[in-house]
Structure 1
Amino acid sequence: MLEIDNQYLWHPYTQHKTAATPIAITHGEGALLWDENGKQYIDAIASWWVNPFGHSNIYIADAIYKQLTTLEHVLFGGFTHQPATTLAQRLMALLPSNQKKLFFSDNGSTAVEIAIKASLQYFYNQGVKRTKIIAFENGFHGDTFAAMAASGISFFTEAFRGSLIEVARIPVPTKGNEQASLDALKQLVTTGEYAAFIFEPLVQGAAGMVMYEPEALDTLITICNDNQVFTIADEVMTGFGKTGKTFACDYLTTQPDMMCLSKALTGGTIPMAITTFTQQIFDGFYDDDVNKALFHGHTFTANPTGCAAALASLELLNTSEMQTNIVRVNSRHLAFKSAIEKHPRVKTVRVLGVILALEITREGNEDYYGNFRNKLYDFFIGKGIIIRPVGNIVYILPPYIISDEHLTAIYENVTEAVETIY
């Protein structure tokens, strides 16, 4: 397997000249994965945040199988089908009440791409020139061009700097920075040049699980509303229970105009994404002039099999057992936070829902993929735990069904890493 991989495959976020040989995984169950040598790993990050209900989930697998025996795929241009309409109905019951329309795509980046394109074209359709967007510093929204432009982690985007739409960045309203964020946004929105403000609500994932309060975001959204600037909540990571509520936006009193959903949408089984819109935005494309339509599409738009997986995932999420699991993981995280946060090498510990992020004190700056980060990663892999630190930040975002025993093993190894890795 590894010989063929080395010969033919190009992995994401990988410098192949210096990277270690990838680990060949053969199967998974629950929160566990096994490699070709039989070594067991605890998946402490739900395989990049997509797998809340565990690997090889039988309930979702059965839903996929049943759908495959009826209708595996049909084009969505000019056609529709029951899995898509049922999923739309179910999601609408969970989404903020101002969300009225769903647009299907394939992954988180494309969900964001669609939201940004819709923002820009909405004003274009009205003959208004608004060609710029606003985003938080150090945000990450994906790797397609508009999503990349909105992202603030420079080494991901440096090679494309001259090819991206113009984005103004404002400070994240973390504790003590609320006023600076507010002032920066006010200055931008009054120019009339900006179509939208995009943000990761309450938690910036790829930045190291940076967290801020809903009250601050409510204020920012209100400012945008007052200045006719659309707001886009990128819930690709935070959606479907990660923050303790179905969506991070459920903590808000003022809701965004658009939401981007993916990752856990299908329980980690089939690539699928959804961008949701208010009626106002949809109406900005509803016209006798065909050129005002949103000319965006994907071959696998609203794939019936993906819709079936998403429906099964929503059913699992809304069970009392799964909601109890989310509360249990959060409680265990909070207990670990209390135990570790006074350690002399721990700078901060942040918890929201099933997300825990721990920042290890280091002298000097630590690169995103620097030596210290790599030491941490190798330490955890050696211990049979899949954790991908961000610089000096170790985060845990496990499947909701993870056992207390496996959580304890994660916490013990994180503690050992804090004490021994320099």
Structure 2
Amino acid sequence: MSSPIWHPFTQHGLEEPIPLIERAEGALLHCADGSTLIDGISSWWVTTHGHCHPRIAAAIAEQAGRLDQLIFAGHTHEPAEEVARGLLGLAPAGLTRVFFSDSGSTSVEVALKMALGYWHRRGEPRHRILVLEHGYHGDTIGAMSVGQRGVFNRRYEPLLFDVGTIPFPAEGREQASLDALDAACQSADKPAAFIAEPLILGAGGMLIYPAWVVTEMAAICRRHGVLWIADEVMTGWGRTGTLFACEQADAAPDLMCVAKGLTGGALPLAATLASEAIFEAYWSDDRADMFYHSSSYTANPIACAAASANLAIWREEDVLGCIASLSQSIATHMGTLSSHPAFENGRQIGAIAALDIKTGDAGYLSDIAPALRSLFLERGLLLRPLGNIVYVMPPYCTTGGQFDRLFEAIKEAGDRFGSR
């Protein structure tokens, strides 16, 4: 009997195999047929310390027997209080308030609504959002609106609101991007906010840009009174080599979105961190002025317990040291592929690396992608290329032997499918 499940980002008409996973540990996924897969992409970029981490699993089990769910409107619980305090203790300076939600997309929606409402409450309504070219912020309507227009959202164009797009600061064109942002911030139609993934754009192609550009972008927004939203959903939790990517730019956003690794990847939880000025804009004795947003599972106690355990791991263990070692291993393997004639544009930041397979059929819908996924699955690997872009973003517990297998398969993919 075939499965009734409709999987995300899956074209079922291709009839690609869908493995049944029974359990996981560390960087390994154990399949029902007895085989194993090395999780080279942290199960969609969420798993940081490894699957089923003992400290996080224990916190989930303990909390599940104490308090499983609570309406968060007008109530609170200790796991949420612990996570909020812990987040603010680690976040860039100036962020003082934590609004919980349940996914990266939702945290972006919250940030956009906060930004627009902030200007309305100040009696200066602004409706325009600036975005960075090739950005991706999720699949809900607002998040799609501020993402790159294309295959991800083309069918929903009538629902999306207009934005101002700033060119991606590609190498050699950084100043042009900054000049465009400066001009957009001064336009007669004053923007409410600028949103960007700092240092690296994920689904947009693993495109990396330097920290000094992030510093300048933040300064431009501040100089012109435009709110800066840092989407750290993917870039946070050590992926770029620091806890948050903003740290490398020494730039403090007005709003910051976090999710994915917030619970170590164990459970869905997200948060939007806001400055005190934004929080105070909603402060009133009139209930009509409150911030209208919630979900049924806002700050779910079990998810918060997982996040609290994750924050404890960051405080008490040398996670950044582990990431530095892992980054060096990735760099060594990337070096072995640098002269391979089938690859180009090799790039790395922290524990993320990517390269493009040369092909006449580039882009997200490249026909090479299903063939690559099939090869990697045959080799016991979970890698999910972005078209002809192969990337790795592994859990921080990945071993040297597992890296050998990942990059041996990537080399094989270049040998088999790349143009010379």
- 3-state SS, counterpart of residue 346 of structure 2: strand
Match of 1:127 in 2: 123
Give the one of 185, 193, 198 matched to 1:196. Answer: 193
* Cα distance in structure 1, aligned partners of 2:274 and 2:31: 42
* Offset, 1:23: 1.4
Query: Aligned partner of 1:331: which letter?
Result: Q
Superposed, which structure 2 residues align to 1:356-375 within 5 Å? 356-363=353-360, 365-375=361-371
Query: Is 1:81 aligned to 2:84, yes or no?
Result: no
For each residue in 1:317-343, what CA deviation from the matched residue of structure 2 results, as whole angstroms up to 9, or x when unmatched? 344443332111100111122221122
Query: Is 1:70 aligned to 2:66, yes or no?
Result: yes
For each residue in 1:150-208, what CA deviation from the matched residue of structure 2 results, as whole angstroms up to 9, or x when unmatched? 11041111112121122111111121121221121122111243111000010101022
* Offset, 1:414: 1.0
Give the one of 333, 337, 342 matched to 1:340. Answer: 337
* Cα distance in structure 2, aligned partners of 1:186 and 1:420: 46
- 3-state SS, counterpart of residue 104 of structure 1: strand
- 3-state SS, counterpart of residue 242 of structure 2: coil
Give the one of 247, 255, 258 matched to 1:258. Answer: 255
Give the one of 280, 287, 292 matched to 1:290. Answer: 287
Query: Is 1:420 aligned to 2:413, yes or no?
Result: no
Query: Is 1:237 aligned to 2:234, yes or no?
Result: yes
Give the one of 18, 41, 55 matched to 1:22. Answer: 18
* Offset, 1:389: 0.6
Give the one of 195, 201, 207 matched to 1:210. Answer: 207
- 3-state SS, counterpart of residue 14 of structure 1: coil
Task: Decide whether the 8 Å contact of 2:39 with 2:383 is kept in 1.
Answer: yes
Query: Aligned partner of 2:257: which letter?
Result: C
Give the one of 9, 14, 18 matched to 2:5. Answer: 9
Task: Decide whether the 8 Å contact of 2:331 with 2:348 is kept in 1.
Answer: yes
Superposed, which structure 2 residues align to 1:309-328 within 5 Å? 309-328=306-325
Query: Is 1:145 aligned to 2:145, yes or no?
Result: no
- 3-state SS, counterpart of residue 410 of structure 1: helix
Task: Decide whether the 8 Å contact of 2:369 with 2:387 is kept in 1.
Answer: yes
Query: Is 1:395 aligned to 2:370, yes or no?
Result: no
* Offset, 1:4: 5.1
Task: Decide whether the 8 Å contact of 2:103 with 2:259 is kept in 1.
Answer: yes
Query: Is 1:354 aligned to 2:348, yes or no?
Result: no
Task: Decide whether the 8 Å contact of 2:41 with 2:382 is kept in 1.
Answer: yes
Task: Decide whether the 8 Å contact of 1:102 with 1:274 is kept in 2.
Answer: yes
Query: Is 1:226 aligned to 2:223, yes or no?
Result: yes
Task: Decide whether the 8 Å contact of 2:83 with 2:311 is kept in 1.
Answer: no
* Cα distance in structure 2, aligned partners of 1:416 and 1:18: 23
Match of 1:270 in 2: 267
Say which is worse superposed, 381-390 or 20-29, in terms of deviation: 20-29
Q: How many residues align?
A: 417
* Offset, 1:263: 0.5
Match of 1:43 in 2: 39
- 3-state SS, counterpart of residue 10 of structure 2: coil
- 3-state SS, counterpart of residue 70 of structure 1: coil
Unmatched 5+ stretches in structure 2: none
Task: Decide whether the 8 Å contact of 1:322 with 1:401 is kept in 2.
Answer: no
* Offset, 1:29: 1.2
Structure 1 vs Structure 2 CA RMSD: 1.4
Task: Decide whether the 8 Å contact of 1:132 with 1:165 is kept in 2.
Answer: no
* Cα distance in structure 1, aligned partners of 2:311 and 2:407: 29
- 3-state SS, counterpart of residue 124 of structure 2: coil
- 3-state SS, counterpart of residue 357 of structure 1: strand
- 3-state SS, counterpart of residue 404 of structure 2: helix
Task: Decide whether the 8 Å contact of 2:68 with 2:301 is kept in 1.
Answer: yes
Q: When the two structures are superposed, what TM-score results if normalisation uses the length of structure 2?
A: 0.96
Query: Aligned partner of 2:184: which letter?
Result: L
Query: Aligned partner of 2:283: which letter?
Result: Y
Task: Decide whether the 8 Å contact of 1:83 with 1:304 is kept in 2.
Answer: yes
* Offset, 1:87: 1.1
Query: Is 1:246 aligned to 2:237, yes or no?
Result: no
Task: Decide whether the 8 Å contact of 2:128 with 2:191 is kept in 1.
Answer: yes
Query: Aligned partner of 1:105: which letter?
Result: S
Q: 1:19 to 1:123 in 2, by over 3 A?
A: farther
* Cα distance in structure 1, aligned partners of 2:162 and 2:284: 28
* Offset, 1:19: 4.1
Say which is worse superposed, 384-393 or 319-328, in terms of deviation: 319-328
Match of 2:86 in 1: 90
Task: Decide whether the 8 Å contact of 1:241 with 1:317 is kept in 2.
Answer: no
